[in-house]
Amino acid sequence: MDLARLGSLHSSTLSFMRTLVRRIMKEEWAIDRRVFDLDENGFGTAIYQIETPNDTFSFVLFSNHLSDEDRNDRVIATSWDLTMALCEGVVDDLWLEEMRNNVPKQEAGRVDARVFSLSRANRSSRLFGYVLDELCAGRQPEADRIAEVGYLYRTTAVYGSGKLGMADWNKVRNKFADFNRPFAPEMFICYMLRQFSLDQVDHIAKSRAPDSAVALDDRLKRFFGIGNSTGLGMAPYLVNHGELFSQWVEMRETALAQVLHKATPTGWRIELFHDLVLRGIRHFSESRTGDEEQIERNRVLIAELAEIDAWVRDQGDKLDTWSVLSDHAREAWSLETQELIHAICMEIHPELVNDLEDNCAVIPNPVLDPAMTTDQLRLMIEDRYDWALAIDFSEPVETDAFWYRSEEKLEPRLGFVGADPGVEKQMPLPIGRRVRDCYDLLVADLAEHPDGDVVHFLLRRPSQKSIVRRMQTMSRYKYGEIRANLANRSVRPMDLLRCKLAFFGVSKFDPRSKLWVRNTMYQGAPLIDDIGHTFDSWFLPLKPDLKEQQA
In this predicted model, what pLDDT tens digit does every residue of 157-205 receive, in sequence order?
Answer: 899 988 889 999 999 999 999 999 999 999 999 999 999 999 999 999 9
Identify the top-confidence range among 369-383, 502-516, 523-537.
369-383
Does residue 75 have a pLDDT over 70? no
Q: How far is CA 133 from CA 71, 143, 276, 331, in A?
A: 21, 15, 35, 51
337 in any annotated domain: yes
22 in any annotated domain: no
Name the strand (E) or helix (H) holding 344: helix 335-347
Report the mean per-residue pLDDT for the chain: 93
Q: Are residues 425 and 286 in the same domain?
A: no
The model carries a pTM of 0.94
Does residue 464 have a pLDDT over 90? yes
Angle made by CA atoms 302, 307, 308, in degrees to the nearest 5: 95
What is the domain range of residue 399? 374-474
Q: Are residues 96 and 178 in the same domain?
A: yes
Q: What are phi and psi of 22, to 5 degrees?
A: -60, -40
Q: Are residues 227 and 345 in the same domain?
A: no
369 in any annotated domain: no
Confidence of residue 536 (pLDDT cuts 50, 70, 90): confident
Q: Are residues 226 and 249 in the same domain?
A: no
* Amino acid in the structure at residue 240: N
Q: Are residues 152 and 197 in the same domain?
A: yes
Q: Are residues 186 and 86 in the same domain?
A: yes
Mean pLDDT of 91-116: 95
Q: How far is CA 217 from CA 33, 322, 367, 400, 459, in A?
A: 19, 39, 55, 52, 68
First to last CA, the chain: 48
Cα(321)–Cα(485) distance, rounded to whole angstroms? 36
17 in any annotated domain: no
Mean pLDDT of 100-124: 94
Q: Within 13 Å, how many C-alpha atoms sit on residue 543's CB side? A: 22
489 in any annotated domain: no
Q: Are residues 379 and 353 in the same domain?
A: no
pLDDT at 232: 80
Give me the number of domains the chain comprises. Answer: 3
Q: Are residues 409 and 334 in the same domain?
A: no
Cα(459)–Cα(461) distance, rounded to whole angstroms? 6
Q: Are residues 284 and 344 in the same domain?
A: yes
Q: Are residues 77 and 171 in the same domain?
A: yes
Mean pLDDT of 367-376: 96
428 in any annotated domain: yes
423 in any annotated domain: yes
Q: Are residues 223 and 107 in the same domain?
A: yes
Q: Are residues 204 and 268 in the same domain?
A: no
18 in any annotated domain: no
* Amino acid in the structure at residue 98: E
Cα(500)–Cα(186) distance, rounded to whole angstroms? 14
